[in-house]
């Protein structure tokens, strides 16, 4: 499929909206000289790259089309670059794709058995003003200097903020209403997925983890009737380790150490944070901090803090 073929599947009114959106985006791109090598507008020529149409459409195919926000979603602006897998030679789009419904950000690459995660920032009412700053703050800029060239993250944030604000203005001028952000789920497993932790969690009722939990429970004992809600754990030749949320306690064990436990009722949600002395430790108030497995990266540890806070507050179960 191509951009033209995709647009031909939409109504004339939707194609008119697309034309207005990309005209706006092109105007912003013309004045974004600091980041111009990274800015691609659908259907518009690029000042440096002759294959801009192909490059942009590849980003749309990878970041928007696999899981569209709506059947009539429209690409507006892509600020990004491609990386190439050394083994497969596959090109992967990374950066920020703004559409008529959301901002999509991707800074991780697809591996053999896992797919890099795209973060979604829907254009919710009352949230659009902060989307650009949130997305750029959460973006992993490490190792991107050669790809960015002279472009600075703050200049990218400014361009995205202007593009989001202008997109919202155009949508509202055409009578479209932005959706209201839904209330957070009270289901722990759904919240785990929302926080992008689904790839590293283990659930006791998952048959493929039965042997793991059998080993874990020999080192991390549960009270009679205590239920495991989520386990961020693994095992080596030296035994199991990790952090476990149950319906009653926060339990954890580091390799070579005895398991520790903090009752859920004793945890002040506002006290839950990453330990200032160790990046893979959670402080939950007075007492010994809980070790977090080192296979969690910085963002995942931050998401785990959010999960534990909401669990301790009784908002999810």
Residue 149, pLDDT score: 76
In the predicted structure, residue 16 carries a pLDDT above the cut 60: yes
Going by pLDDT thresholds of 50, 70 and 90, the confidence category of residue 87 is low
Sheet holding 91-99, edge to edge: 39-40, 75-84, 91-99, 102-106, 118-122
Structure tokens at 175: 């009578």
Min mean pLDDT across 81-90, 94-103, 109-118, 159-168 is at 109-118
Q: What pLDDT does 40 receive?
A: 95
Examine the pLDDT at 112 and tell me if it is beyond 60. no
Residue 66 has pLDDT above 80, yes or no: yes
- Report the residue count for the chain: 317
Lowest mean pLDDT segment, chosen from 49-53, 84-88, 113-117, 198-202: 113-117
∠ CA 96-101-105, nearest 5°, is: 20
pTM of the predicted model, to two decimals?
0.69
| pLDDT: which is higher, 186 or 276 | 186
Cα distances (angstroms) measured from residue 46 to each of 30, 53, 75, 226, 243: 10, 8, 16, 60, 49
């Amino acid at each position: 499929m191509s951009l033209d073929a995709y647009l031909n599947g939409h109504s004339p009114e939707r194609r008119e909206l697309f034309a207005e959106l990309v005209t706006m985006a092109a105007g912003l791109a013309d004045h974004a000289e600091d980041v111009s090598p990274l800015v691609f507008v659908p259907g518009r020529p690029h000042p440096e790259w002759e294959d801009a149409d192909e490059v942009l459409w590849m980003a749309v195919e990878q970041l928007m089309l696999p899981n569209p926000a709506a059947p009539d979603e429209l690409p507006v602006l892509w600020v990004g670059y491609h990386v190439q897998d050394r083994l497969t030679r596959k090109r992967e789009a990374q950066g920020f794709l703004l559409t008529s419904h959301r901002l999509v950000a991707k800074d991780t690459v697809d591996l053999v058995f896992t797919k890099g995660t795209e973060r979604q920032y829907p254009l919710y009412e009352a949230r659009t003003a902060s989307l650009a700053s949130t997305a750029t703050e959460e973006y992993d800029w490490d190792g991107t200097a050669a790809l960015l060239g002279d472009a600075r993250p703050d200049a990218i944030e400014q361009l995205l903020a202007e593009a989001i604000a202008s997109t919202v203005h155009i949508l509202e001028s055409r009578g479209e209403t932005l959706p209201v952000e839904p209330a957070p789920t009270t289901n722990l497993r759904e919240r785990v997925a929302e926080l992008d932790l689904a790839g590293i969690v283990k659930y006791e009722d998952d048959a493929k983890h039965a042997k793991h939990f059998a080993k874990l429970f020999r080192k991390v004992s549960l009270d009679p009737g205590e239920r495991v809600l989520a386990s961020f754990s693994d095992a080596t030749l030296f035994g199991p380790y990790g952090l476990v949320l149950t319906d009653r306690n926060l339990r954890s064990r580091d390799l070579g150490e005895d398991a520790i436990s903090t009752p859920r009722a004793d945890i002040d949600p506002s006290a839950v944070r990453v330990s200032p002395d160790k990046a893979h430790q959670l402080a939950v108030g007075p007492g010994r901090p809980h070790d977090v497995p080192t296979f969690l990266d910085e963002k995942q540890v931050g998401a785990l803090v959010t999960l534990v806070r909401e669990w301790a507050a009784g908002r999810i179960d």
